[in-house]
Amino acid sequence: MEKYILSLDQGTTSSRAVLINEKAQIVSMSQKEIRQIYPKEGWVEHDPIEILNSVIEVTQEVIEKLKIQPQQIKSIGITNQRETTVIWNKETGIPIHNAIVWQDNRTITLCEKLKKQKLEKTISDKTGLVIGPYFSATKIKWLLDNDLNVKKQAKSGKLIFGTIDSWLVWNLTNKSTHATDFSNASRTMLFNINTLKWDEDILEELNIPKTILPNVKDSNAYYGDFTYKGTKIPINGILGDQQASLFGHMCFEKNSIKNTYGTGCFMLMNTGNKIIKSNNGLLSTIAWKIENNISYSLEGSIFIGGAAIQWLRDELGIIKTSDQSEKEALKSTESKNLYMVPAFNGLGAPYWDMYATGLIIGITRDTNNSDIIKATLDSIAYQTKDVLISMENDAGSKIKTLNVDGGASNNNYLMQFQSDILGINIKRPKNTEMTALGAGYIAGLKASFWDMDHLKTLNTNNTLFLHSYNKNQIDDLYNKWKKAIHRSMHWN
């Protein structure tokens, strides 16, 4: 009887369950969207019970679809939307509030206050992060301070906190395990990535009781059993989504790097067992900890990646589907003098300008829709180059190959231009479900489904994009991008 790993991928917009066979191939997948709740402008919530139910539903569905017995599943891996915060009562199992999603910015004022207290350097040194509403710490504080009764319950030890991985593990193990892994802990802004412990000073500063925090375990540890129709299946791995994708690409070596082209873009580089501090506004974070070996990474995010293509589709209406952008861009004969900067909500790394705004520059009498579509795809590639250069500068070494995944990485025009403008080759795996694969791989390691050496030999089925521009061509185009982006800055 064939054996499988079940990978549960709980993302921001949907939950997926994926079955992976011993050849590391995805053989079945099931997916369910989850509701986005927007109580106020800038607030984003999820219903934790709905998240849990959706995960159980897709699990049932994927097993039934492949018509296998639960005994054939040797191990479960979990990957999750990071930073999203849940607090629940450990006696009743009921959350005290909806989950506050990573995108939610209700704690901006609190973050400004922390910055005014000159805590930026301390927090960055301890956690590798830049103070922001994005991370769990201020979300936890908001939940605890929101209601006097809640504060009392927290002090009496009845409440516990978790990111989505912890919430799922606690429920799937029948309330027996309250734990998270190092990659998720490092996104809370409460975890000291030097000492690998919850940071007492930050906890005290924010008045968060340590008792509510989960136990932090290796990314490929045993987290307890999920009992499915009477069969106990061990949960053997947890990784935050971007780290799971890094693992899925098998970026195990120092300086190996991946970029995920989703709504935004997330670039992560493995920096080995050393923390590299960025001079360019990148984050230092934990990639994973496996059998006492810690790997760190540098992370850079671009706010608007594939979302710029959605803008072409939904606001301008000049394409009907995202993938149509490829055909349209190839029609354009414009000589790359037209630039689009999708700074719809400011600019992230390495510019960090909240006041930047979008622009299109270089328009002439004959500029047409295809040209604008091409310039928009190009903007994703240029922004990626900005972040990659920052990473190279911080790490002090040159990148040779970029691994890619995510929805927009399916666009061949974009990938070819990306390779050309970076001047390096790009490797796109046949299966771009890297997040689910990464969590599956890590769970399979613990279950001895495969070992690290075996993993490296798997999934070599990639599409390669080879760069074809010379240095002068790259410099000309990229210098103009820099001019365009500087015009978009400090607008508001």
Segment contacting ligand ADP by CB under 6 A, of 59-67, 70-78, 190-198, 405-413: 405-413
Q: Which of 19, 150, 168, 408 binds ligand ADP (CB under 6 A)?
A: 408
Say how far apart CA 262 and CA 206 lie, in whole Å: 33
Residue type, 459: N
Q: What is the nearest approach in angstroms of ligand ADP to the Cβ of residue 406?
A: 4
- What residues between 113 and 142 interact with ligand ADP by CB under 6 A? none
Position 71, amino acid = Q
Site for ligand ADP in 186-215 (CB under 6 A): none
How does DSSP assign 385-448, residue by residue?
Answer: HHHHHHHHHHHTS---EEEEESGGGG-HHHHHHHHHHHTSEEEEES---HHHHHHHHHHHHHTT
Q: Cβ 308 to ligand ADP, closest distance in Å?
A: 8
Q: Are the CB atoms for 406 and 432 separated by under 8 Å? A: yes
Q: In sequence order, which residues have a C-beta less than 8 Å from that of residue 19 and are 6 or more positions away?
A: 4, 5, 6, 7, 26, 27, 28, 29, 62, 63, 66, 68, 73
Task: Considering the complex, state which of residue 224 and residue 306 has its C-beta at the smaller distance from ligand ADP.
Answer: 306
Helix (H/G/I), strand (E/B), else coil: 284: strand
AA letter at 200: E
Nearest approach, Cβ of residue 261 and ligand ADP (Å): 6
Query: Contact at 8 Å (CB) between 127 and 56?
Result: no
Q: Looking at beta carbons, which residue is closest to ligand ADP? A: 407
**Token couple for 22:** 């011993």
- Given the complex with ligand ADP, which of 262 and 440 has the nearer CB atom? 262
Give me the phi and psi of 423, to 5 degrees please. 75, 25
> Pick from 104, 326, 371, 433: which binds ligand ADP (CB under 6 A)?
326
Q: Closer to ligand ADP at the Cβ: 261 or 288? A: 261
Number of shown-chain residues binding ligand ADP (CB under 6 A): 17
Binding mask 352-391 toward ligand ADP (x if CB under 6 A, else -) reads ----------------------------------------
Q: Which is nearer to ligand ADP, 34 or 283 (CB)?
A: 34
Cβ distance to ligand ADP smaller for residue 315 or 366? 315
Residue length, the chain?
Answer: 492
Among 406, 429, 438, 440, binds ligand ADP (CB under 6 A): 406
Give the nearest distance from C-beta 405 to ligand ADP in angstroms: 8
Residues 6+ apart with CB under 8 A from 60: none
348 binds ligand ADP (CB under 6 A): no
Using the minimum distance from each CB to ligand ADP, give the nearer residue, 91 or 323: 323
Q: Can you list the positions of beta strands (E) in 11-164?
A: 14-20, 26-33, 45-46, 73-80, 85-89, 99-100, 159-163
Q: How many helices (H) and strands (E) does the chain have?
A: 16, 23
- Stretch of residues binding ligand ADP (CB under 6 A), selected from 74-82, 121-129, 162-170, 301-309: 301-309
Binding mask 306-325 for ligand ADP (x = CB under 6 A): xx-xx-----------xx-x
**229-237, 383-391, 400-408, 471-479 -> range binding ligand ADP (CB under 6 A):** 400-408
Residue 13 or 448 with smaller CB distance to ligand ADP: 13
The two structure tokens encoding residue 244: 């799971």
The 241-280 contact track toward ligand ADP, x by CB under 6 A, reads ---------------------xx-----------------
Give min distance, CB of 62 to ligand ADP, in A.
18
Q: How far is the CB of 13 from ligand ADP (least distance, A)?
A: 5
Residue 127's CB is within 10 A of a number of other CB atoms, namely: 26
User: To the nearest whole angstrom, how small is the minimum distance from the Cβ of residue 85 to ligand ADP?
Assistant: 19
Six-digit token pair at 234?
């061990």
Residue labelled with tokens 């706010």: 303
Beta strands in 148-244 (DSSP E): 159-163, 179-181, 191-192, 197-198, 215-217, 225-228, 231-240
Provide the 3-class DSSP secondary structure of residue 311.
Answer: helix
Is 273 or 321 the residue whose CB approaches ligand ADP more closely? 321
Query: Could you tell me the smallest distance in angstroms from the CB atom of residue 79 to ligand ADP?
Result: 12
What six digits make up the tokens of 194? Answer: 């030097």
Site for ligand ADP, rule CB under 6 A: 11, 13, 262-263, 306-307, 309-310, 322-323, 325-326, 406-408, 410-411
